[in-house]
Amino acid sequence: MSRRVLITGGAGFIGSHTCLVLLEQGHELVVLDNFDNSSPEALRRVQELAGSTQLTLVEGDVRDASAVDKAFGSGGAVDGVIHFAGLKAVGESVGNPLLYWDVNVNGSRVLAAAMERHGCRTLVFSSTSTAYGEPETFPLREDMPTAPVHPYAQTKVAVEQMLAALCRSGPWRVASLRYFNPVGAHPSGQIGEDPMGIPNNLFPFITQVAAGRREQLRIFGQDYPTPDGTGIRDYLHVMDLAEAHGKALEHLLQQPTPYSLTLNIGTGRGLSVLEVVQGFEAATGLTIPYEVVERRPGDVPRLEACPQTAQIVLGWSARRTLEEMCRDGWAWQQANPSGYRGPT
């Protein structure tokens, strides 16, 4: 059944892949994005890849009620909302917590208020595995306590709580998806992650080293209590994550109200930094030079999902391998050495 879906932050890394999946499934989309960390070119390519123009763009800020109203008013009734718009840099959130509370929390509040006004109370929200803080027992289940240790994670947990309260107050249906580490790109190499400046995250850093844009990878610490001493994360292919959004939205739309759901979205298989480097080398035939440096402040030794609830409730599990994550991320980097901004 074709749905009309409002996607905030739809031009970003995860949003663009989700737009592609939803367009390919025949849905009609309205994207609200202020291009703070993305480019309209991503949406042009998404439509080209999908062979669909069922996407209306409203350029604006999710904190601006009139922009959100405009998105709701740009066509027929909206069946559900997927809310990606937000900020995600841990270090930046420590230096500028008010910005994170404004964009992530106030932005979600303005969006939810607009949803009330327009009678649309079905929402999929981008939450994060960092909600669990520095856990000691694995794998992480959704009923384990949240203990966010930096403003970024704190704002995400605050929004989860605001949405849970809405579900207690009226006919809302909400899914908070706690993503682990999304990586890779669409296999076409046409859309992918486009970080500004020096990448913070492991995968884009590795692909830029592979491309010769950076000299070597710096591995942040080899003295963690893990088998090879480097940090462990649960990396998943961004296309698997995109598909989880389609399933979550459809699931919500079939539930009676109120309904509230929190789901881990990961593979359940943690990989160390060294295992990722080796996996990338095996998938591409390239060598990634690295040096081991000090731990990065704020990093936790290990995050690893128990993805069973998503499997049981949504029938979703991550299908793509580390090899595919590396191959597809590398194809995107090769085809777009400067991301969306430079010549391709």
Least Å distance, CB 245 to ligand UDP, is 19
Structure-block tokens of residue 228: 């090879």
- Choice among 152, 179, 224, 340 that is catalytic: 152
Q: Of 231, 246, 266, 268, which one interacts with ligand UDP (CB under 6 A)?
A: 231
Question: Is-contact 79 119, C-beta < 8 A?
Answer: no
CA distances from 208 to 14, 193, 199, 279 (A): 19, 12, 9, 16
Which one of 12-20, 184-192, 214-222, 246-254 is the stretch in contact with ligand UDP (CB under 6 A)? Answer: 214-222
DSSP string, 82-128: EE--S---HHHHHH-HHHHIIIIIIHHHHHHHHHHHHT--EEEEEEE
Q: Which of 67, 71, 70, 61 is nearest to 34 (CA)?
A: 61
Which one of 8-16, 118-126, 198-206, 326-334 is the stretch in contact with ligand UDP (CB under 6 A)? Answer: 198-206
Q: Which of 48, 21, 51, 18 is nearest to 33 (CA)?
A: 18
Q: Of 122, 126, 207, 284, which one interacts with ligand NAD (CB under 6 A)?
A: 126
Which one of 95-103, 148-156, 197-205, 244-252 is the stretch in contact with ligand UDP (CB under 6 A)? Answer: 197-205
In the DSSP assignment, the letter for residue 36 is T
Which one of 103-111, 212-220, 311-319, 335-343 is the stretch in contact with ligand UDP (CB under 6 A)? Answer: 212-220
Q: Is 38 in the site for ligand NAD (CB under 6 A)?
A: yes
Q: Which of 81, 75, 74 is nearest to 112 (CA)?
A: 81
Q: Of 80, 107, 184, 307, which one interacts with ligand NAD (CB under 6 A)?
A: 107
> Which CB, 233 or 251, lies closer to ligand UDP?
233
Q: Is 152 a catalytic residue?
A: yes
Kindly give, in sequence order, each residue whose CB lies less than 8 Å from that of residue 212, ignoring residues fewer than 6 positions away: none
> Which CB, 166 or 274, lies closer to ligand UDP?
274
Burial degree of 169 (CB within 10 A; 0-12, 13-18, 19+) = exposed
Q: Is 181 in the site for ligand UDP (CB under 6 A)?
A: yes
Question: Is-contact 203 288, C-beta < 8 A?
Answer: no
Q: Which helix (H) or strand (E) holds 81?
A: strand 80-83
Report the C-alpha gap between 176 and 288 in whole angstroms. Answer: 36
- C-beta nearest to ligand NAD: residue: 12
- Site map 177..206 versus ligand NAD, x via CB under 6 A: --x-xx------------------------
> Which CB, 238 or 274, lies closer to ligand NAD?
238
Q: Is 151 in the site for ligand NAD (CB under 6 A)?
A: no
Subset of residues 275 to 304 that bind ligand UDP, contact rule: CB under 6 A: 296, 299
Q: Which residues bind ligand UDP (CB under 6 A)?
A: 181, 200-202, 205, 217-220, 231, 233, 273, 296, 299
